[in-house]
Structure 1
Amino acid sequence: MRKLISDMLNKHPLMEVIGIARNGKDAVEKVRDLHPDVITMDIEMPMMNGLEALKLIMDQMPIPVVILSSTTKHNTENAVLAIEYGAVDVIAKPGGAISLNLHEIEKEIVEKVFAASNVGIQTLTRKITPPQKRYTAPPTRMNTASDSRIIPSVPVQTVNFSKNITLIAQTFVIIGTSTGGPRALQEVITRFPAEFPYPILIVQHMPPGFTKSLAERLNGLSEIAVKEAEHGELIENGTAYIAPGGLHLKFEKSRTGYQIVLDGNEAPRSGHRPAVNVLLESAATHKELKFVTAIMTGMGSDGKEGMELLRASCKTITIAESQKTSVVYGMPKAIIDAGLSDEVKDVQEIANAILGNLK
């Protein structure tokens, strides 16, 4: 595996592999000696696993880390934690722990490692601001939040919402994000109050399997319900639906409200399935609805074409993440440069911006 990955990266004219580590302990020692620009790391390693090594590296000598992981449930959960701890991105190995068919994702590995070399390290080491209101998640949720939370420097905005959430709201919240997105989503979603009476649809570029672990992690940290979207389910107020990796997320009107449509037949858009553009195009067909949208950190420009269509078709407020806090200033930059943003906010301010536009 180390040889395969090294060969892939060394082919790139602007990248050179300067060291290979046999395990997490060896990796930490070599990082101290060699000072690389980027590290690729597996979760499963002998002597010291990827999470332990990542914590040491990000605490003592922070460097962008790209995680390669198999898609077992245990590993997808740990990969989501790795991003929370400061990893830039996660790549799914196509063939399990020993992936001899790694060449199938060579383009993805090279692109993500190169993108990681341009990441501002301060966006990875910034502590995620915990919600101001302390709470205990219900026992049915996966509550893995740290007990050592601190009071945030950015206060949660207080908005009085109607308690009537039986009928589907006429305003939807849509969030699109990619590289650096899981940390940004945690910053935003955990700040919504339990009585939040609007549905939230989320596209996060992630491989199949990882989005379910991300949804479970966010659900355990949030007062609202967060889940991986399921085909045909009715959309409920106060619930955030994350598009499953490998499937486009759309929605359609039903007799009793709106329901989720997952599409694995439509081709990826610019290499992404799910794609933010597809969700926004679906939203644009519902002229009876209003939307508050947020485009956050990520490579490329996914979301720009869909946002143009949505803003031309429906009443829409668009919030773009600032360059200052974006791990990769691609997707929000495309929105801002195209004149499609109503507000530009640091990630810590996006939840309040959404709440403020829902009054």
Structure 2
Amino acid sequence: MNKVKVLIVDDSAFMRKVLSDIVNKDYRMEVVGTARNGKDALRKVKDLSPDVITMDIEMPVMDGLMALRCLMQEDPKPIVMLSSLTGKGAESTLQAISLGAVDFVLKPSGAISLDINQVETEIIQKIITASKANVAKKSPVKLMQRLPLKGSRGNGRSVVAIGTSTGGPRALQEVLTAIPKGFPAPILVVQHMPKGFTKSLAKRIGQLASIHVKEAEHGEQLQSGVAYIAPGDLHMGVEATYEHLKISLSQGEPMNGHRPSVNYLYQSLAKVKQYKTVSVIMTGMGTDGMEGLIELKTQCPETYCIAESEETCVVYGMPKAVIKANLANEIAPLDDINHRIVQAILGRGN
């Protein structure tokens, strides 16, 4: 088996050493080089041709974002960003994902994290996942054409429920920015993401979208034409009142390692049989969403599922699981998913 060749990019000698030790400890990977800034990294990439790059964001000479931008234009590679949890850090991380980074890992205690070993398992997992990712042709996210609403405006008894993970922020931006104003259903989104990042994600997408995009709040009533993103580290479900649905957030146990969990959302929707769900499963590692979708379709046979096609997924895990289980009503490339959502809500028997 060929080992995954990894380039470590960080301005801290300590971080380069510790990250190298973490990578080299795993039999599936080896560090082929290190770089102390983005400019150094660009040179090393040409010489070493790594399979995956770990990239710090804040570095002198050339920061991680500039290096990422150059690499995506010249020689796309799977890149895992290392980020600190600050307001600026969250923004920079989401910008990196938008530019084409596959994923990110939070440094536990800032730029030089003496306790980086706390996230050792996550680092290994995300590098291995990145090594299998589709990063070709990842130009900056384009704004998709917003489709005009035609036909029935629905009866207010439909919900769109989107589940996604690795590669999801880019995919969500493409889909949600193309949903037309006046869309006649609420949109619930579970994106696997840690606490502190989902509010920035909602804000970033909301600035580009025609619909309102926000981080979900416990107890709020669902409104048509609004996308609600589950807060990091909280499960999101729904509860039915006499006339409406409202959001229910919970810090219950993670499901298969995830909180928020797509399964949790779908299992919650399975209990509100008076509503039709259009489920959308997009790029992501693993199978989150499949078990919940089985329950949702069993309890609510009108549930309609759209799965992202392999050709546009950054990681073809979650959609693949749904498709293999024969749960997908249709398979669509990313640039057609917004159109399919509108058609499913307006034209499929609300």
CA distance in 2, matches of 1:237, 1:339: 29
CA apart distance, 1:261: 1.2
- Structure 1 pair 46/195, CA: closer, same or farther in 2 (3 Å)? same
The residue identity in structure 1 corresponding to 2:256 is S
CA distance in 1, matches of 2:41, 2:189: 35
1:145 corresponds in structure 2 to none
Match of 2:173 among 186, 194, 209: 186
Q: Work out whether residues 149 and 183 of structure 2, in 8 Å CA contact, stay in contact via their aligned partners in 1.
A: no
Q: Work out whether residues 161 and 195 of structure 1, in 8 Å CA contact, stay in contact via their aligned partners in 2.
A: no
1:153 corresponds in structure 2 to none
Aligned ranges for residues 208-223 of structure 1 at < 5 Å?
A: 208-223=195-210
Confirm or deny that 1:354 pairs with 2:341: yes
Please report the TM-score for the alignment, with normalisation by the length of structure 1. Answer: 0.89
Please report the TM-score for the alignment, with normalisation by the length of structure 2. Answer: 0.91
CA distance in 2, matches of 1:176, 1:187: 14
Aligned ranges for residues 84-163 of structure 1 at < 5 Å?
A: 84-122=98-136, 125-132=138-145, 156=147, 158-160=149-151, 162=153
The residue identity in structure 2 corresponding to 1:207 is P
Q: Secondary structure at the match of 2:34?
A: coil
2:192 corresponds in structure 1 to 205
The residue identity in structure 1 corresponding to 2:183 is F
Aligned ranges for residues 207-356 of structure 1 at < 5 Å?
A: 207-254=194-241, 257-264=244-251, 266-314=252-300, 315-356=302-343
- Structure 1 pair 289/109, CA: closer, same or farther in 2 (3 Å)? same
Overall identity of the aligned pairs, in %: 51
CA distance in 1, matches of 2:130, 2:148: 33
User: Alpha carbon RMSD of aligned pairs, Å?
Assistant: 1.6
Q: Work out whether residues 37 and 117 of structure 1, in 8 Å CA contact, stay in contact via their aligned partners in 2.
A: yes
- Structure 1 pair 126/51, CA: closer, same or farther in 2 (3 Å)? closer
- Structure 1 pair 118/289, CA: closer, same or farther in 2 (3 Å)? same
Q: Work out whether residues 157 and 355 of structure 1, in 8 Å CA contact, stay in contact via their aligned partners in 2.
A: no
CA distance in 2, matches of 1:131, 1:340: 27
Match of 1:52 among 59, 66, 74: 66
Q: Secondary structure at the match of 2:294?
A: helix
CA apart distance, 1:253: 1.9
Q: Work out whether residues 161 and 197 of structure 1, in 8 Å CA contact, stay in contact via their aligned partners in 2.
A: no
The residue identity in structure 2 corresponding to 1:285 is K
Instruction: Deviation per CA, 1:311-340: give whole Å up to 9, x if none.
Output: 001120001111111110100000000010
My pick for the range that moved more, 86-95 or 329-338, is 86-95
Q: Secondary structure at the match of 1:17?
A: strand
CA distance in 2, matches of 1:131, 1:160: 21
1:150 corresponds in structure 2 to none
Match of 2:56 among 39, 42, 56: 42
1:195 corresponds in structure 2 to 182
CA apart distance, 1:129: 3.8
1:11 corresponds in structure 2 to 25
Q: Secondary structure at the match of 2:280?
A: strand
Q: Work out whether residues 169 and 198 of structure 1, in 8 Å CA contact, stay in contact via their aligned partners in 2.
A: yes
Instruction: Deviation per CA, 1:14-43: give whole Å up to 9, x if none.
Output: 210111111122112211221111000111
Q: Secondary structure at the match of 2:284?
A: coil
Q: Work out whether residues 207 and 245 of structure 1, in 8 Å CA contact, stay in contact via their aligned partners in 2.
A: yes
The number of aligned residues is 331
Q: Work out whether residues 91 and 207 of structure 1, in 8 Å CA contact, stay in contact via their aligned partners in 2.
A: no
Runs of 4+ in structure 1 deviating by more than 3 angstroms, as ranges, are 126-129
CA distance in 2, matches of 1:14, 1:88: 19
The residue identity in structure 1 corresponding to 2:277 is F
The residue identity in structure 2 corresponding to 1:159 is K
1:76 corresponds in structure 2 to 90
CA distance in 1, matches of 2:189, 2:46: 38
CA apart distance, 1:57: 1.0
1:67 corresponds in structure 2 to 81
CA distance in 1, matches of 2:139, 2:270: 35
Q: Work out whether residues 51 and 82 of structure 1, in 8 Å CA contact, stay in contact via their aligned partners in 2.
A: yes
The residue identity in structure 1 corresponding to 2:294 is E
